[in-house]
Structure 1
Amino acid sequence: MSVKVQIVFHSLYTHVYQLAEAIAEGAREVSGAEVLLAQVPETLPAEILEKMGATAAKKSFAHIPVADPHVLADADAIILGTPTRFGASTAQMQAFLDATGGLWAKGALIGKVGSAFTSTASQHGGQETTLVHLQTFFYHQGMVVAGVPYAAKELSELNEVTGGSPYGASTIAGPRGERTPTANELAIARFQGKHIAQIAAKLAAK
């Protein structure tokens, strides 16, 4: 039986995009999983992106299609990724979620699996609050919320600074975006992708 997993993200400096690709890798390990990777529309003008130093980074994932909120109805599982902004999602991600009112009115996402991932500039920069913030969207849409269980041994890594929690995969970008996702963080992301796809497959089989 096929299961459709949609990974929808917003990324400026590739950190969230790199996690998204790792999550997609994990999801594809599940037999019959069809994985769609999409990015939310960017709302910042090109000149602002240039001043932020994000133009070159965004070109590296320009091949990823722009997400359509209506397509979410076709998914069995939806995994959202965003950088944190003061402990919540970016305006770009929020604008995308705000466009799903029609899906809510129809109950189109009820029973689907929802999960989230994020990045922050610092170790305690609001990763968990951002992930919980995204969970409220899933709850309002009537979805089944899942994170990363401690079966992912990388969550218990204490020998290095690392993102990742039971709420979802995450990475620490650094104040200037100089830090890239570590092997440990990417392993947690892959675990999350596989875990969510497996749950979606079990629900779809019933």
Structure 2
Amino acid sequence: MAKILILYYSSYGHVGALAEAIAEGARDAGGDVTIGRVPETAPKEIVESAGFSVNEDHPVVEPDDLSDYDAIIVGAPTRYGRLSSQMASFWDRTGGLWGKGTLIGKVGASFTSTATQHGGQETTQFSILSNLLHHGMIIVGLDYGFDGQMSTDAIIGGSPYGASTVAGGDGSRTPHEIDLNGAKYLGAKVARTAAKQCA
């Protein structure tokens, strides 16, 4: 059974909701799943005044924990077309793992949330995936076997680079059912790929 870490940062719960859906898909495909979050780096007064939400059910993960997993699915909201500083800071601290080649051959994937449809979902996913590629990980995307991402009937996320959702400018939108189904599909695909790598 492949051990899968879903590692995320979420300010308002949208990325956290995708993390839960990804976990469901990965578990359904036989994965042993842990959901963890990266440390908050914003000052306490900013966190409080902006109303950030923290899911205390998910433990904080540190870089050395990554070695325990066969697959790592990374999610972060978009900040000006790239990954959030909290997630960037986490990966900036993985130099020791990179130096040892610890993550080479592990399976990786990405997910994100943006305020608008064209707010940088794909560029954010590229900025997540570039970290995984530099670590020598095997990248899994959201392929068109999940045809929900082809829908034009609603405002949705999803691309070949990973699962995603649109939060709205004020964060009031919740992930669309299509987005959650895409996340489940991605989680299942990562679990199956990681199981093959472990075999």
Q: 2:157 corresponds to which residue?
A: 163
SS in 2 for 1:202: helix
Q: Are residue 195 (structure 1) and residue 194 (structure 2) matched? A: no
Instruction: Give the partner amino acid of 1:80.
Output: V
Q: Deviations over 1:129-163 (max 9, x none)?
A: 01011111111101111111100121111111101
2:38 & 2:133 partners in 1: Cα distance?
Answer: 20
Q: How many residues align?
A: 199
Inter-partner Cα distance in structure 2 for 1:177 and 1:73 = 34
In the alignment, what sits opposite 1:91? 85
Of 154-163 and 107-116, the range deviating more from structure 2: 154-163
Equivalent residue in structure 2 for 1:48, among 28, 46, 50: 46
Distance 2:42 2:129 in 1: 25
2:79 partner SS: coil
**Which residue of 2 is the match for residue 76 of structure 1?**
70
The two structures have a TM-score, normalised by structure 2, of: 0.98
Q: What is the CA–CA distance in structure 1 between the aligned matches of 2:170 and 2:152, rounded to whole Å? A: 24
In the superposition, the TM-score normalised over structure 1's length comes to 0.94
Counterpart position of 1:65: 59
Look up the match of 2:116. 122
Q: What is the CA deviation profile of residues 77-111 of structure 1, one whole-angstrom value per residue up to 9, with x for unaligned ones?
A: 11000001111111100110011111001000000
Q: For 1:84, what is the secondary structure of its paired residue?
A: strand
Query: What is the rounded CA distance, in whole Å, between the counterparts of 2:25 and 2:57 in structure 1?
Result: 20
1:153 and 2:147 are equivalent in the alignment: yes
Q: Counterparts of 1:121-140 in structure 2 under 5 Å?
A: 121-140=115-134
* Corresponding residue of 1:28: 27
Task: Give the percent of matched residue pairs that are identical in Structure 1 and Structure 2.
Answer: 49
Q: What CA RMSD, in Å, does the superposition of the two structures yield over aligned residues?
A: 0.8
Could you tell me which residue of structure 1 aligns to residue 11 of structure 2?
Answer: 12
User: SS in structure 1 opposite 2:23?
Assistant: helix
CA separation in 2, counterparts of 1:12 and 1:95?
A: 15
Find the aligned partners of 1:194 and 1:117 in 2 and give their Cα distance.
14
1:53 to partner: Cα distance:
2.0
Equivalent AA in structure 2 for residue 49 of structure 1: V
User: Which consecutive residues of structure 2, in runs of 5 or more, have no partner in the other structure?
Assistant: none
Runs of 4+ in structure 1 displaced over 4 angstroms? Answer: none
Give 1:204 shift.
1.0
Distance 1:53 1:77 in 2: 32
Secondary structure, aligned partner of 2:64: helix
How far did residue 62 of structure 1 move? 1.4
Shift of 1:14: 0.2
Gaps of 5+ in 1: none
